[in-house]
């Protein structure tokens, strides 16, 4: 019984000591501020040899904007989403060189779509690898498709 109490006393002493060491203050007496690591960027700027600065996702896939969607209204729905899949994401984080506002908009069929300066962003199905811009200048589904750029205005 005496041995069990001394082990318990030792354990209790260690707990108290650890609690005092991790009290949330640094040597100056001010509180520690625990911050989460920054979220990974969802929209980045890349350089295209023909188009200059363009917007891509984190894997290097080119992002596009659709001319009828000026002001953030979603016009690409239904059959349009087959060749032009929405850039869906659970977060909106601007990477280095992104000068506009990256945000999310709720799609009519559900899901959160990336936007840049209120423009909903899309991929093009013929871009099968990073750094491709096969959708630049395509006219389809009642409007023109263009590679999104950092200078895209709302």
pLDDT at 105: 96
Which pLDDT does position 31 carry in this prediction?
45
Confidence at residue 18, expressed as pLDDT on a 0 to 100 scale: 36
Query: For residue 35, what pLDDT is reported?
Result: 66
Q: What was the pLDDT predicted at 44?
A: 96
Q: How much is the pLDDT for 40?
A: 86
Residue 38 in tokens: 């920054």
pTM of the prediction?
0.76
Q: Write down the pLDDT at residue 39.
A: 76
| Complete DSSP assignment for the chain | -HHHHHHHHHHHHHHHHHHHHTSSB-TTSPBP---PPPPPPSBEEEEETTTEEEEE-TT--B-EEEGGGTTS-----GGGGTTS-B-B-S---B-TT--S-EEEEE-TTSSEEEEETTEE-B--TT--STT--TTTT-EETTEEEEE--TT---
**pLDDT of 37:** 66
Query: Which pLDDT score is estimated for 122?
Result: 98
Structure confidence at residue 34 (pLDDT):
59
Q: What is the pLDDT along the chain (154 residues), one digit of tens a residue?
A: 444 434 334 333 433 333 344 444 444 444 444 566 667 889 999 999 999 999 999 999 999 999 999 989 999 999 999 999 999 999 999 999 999 999 999 999 999 999 999 999 999 999 999 999 999 999 999 999 999 999 999 9
């Amino acid at each position: 019984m005496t041995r069990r109490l001394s082990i318990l006393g030792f354990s209790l002493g260690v707990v108290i000591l650890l609690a005092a060491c991790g009290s949330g203050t640094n040597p100056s007496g001010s509180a520690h501020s625990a911050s989460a690591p920054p979220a990974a960027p969802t929209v980045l700027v890349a350089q295209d040899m023909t188009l200059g600065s363009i917007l891509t996702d984190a894997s290097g896939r080119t992002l596009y904007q659709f001319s009828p969607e000026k002001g953030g209204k979603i016009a690409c729905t239904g059959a349009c989403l087959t060749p032009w899949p929405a850039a869906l994401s659970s977060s909106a984080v601007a990477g280095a060189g992104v000068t506009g506002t990256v945000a999310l908009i709720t799609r009519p069929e559900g899901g959160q779509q990336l936007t840049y300066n209120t423009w909903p962003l899309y991929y093009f199905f013929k871009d099968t690898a990073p750094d491709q811009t096969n959708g630049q200048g395509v006219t389809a589904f009642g409007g023109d498709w263009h590679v999104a750029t950092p200078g895209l205005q709302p």
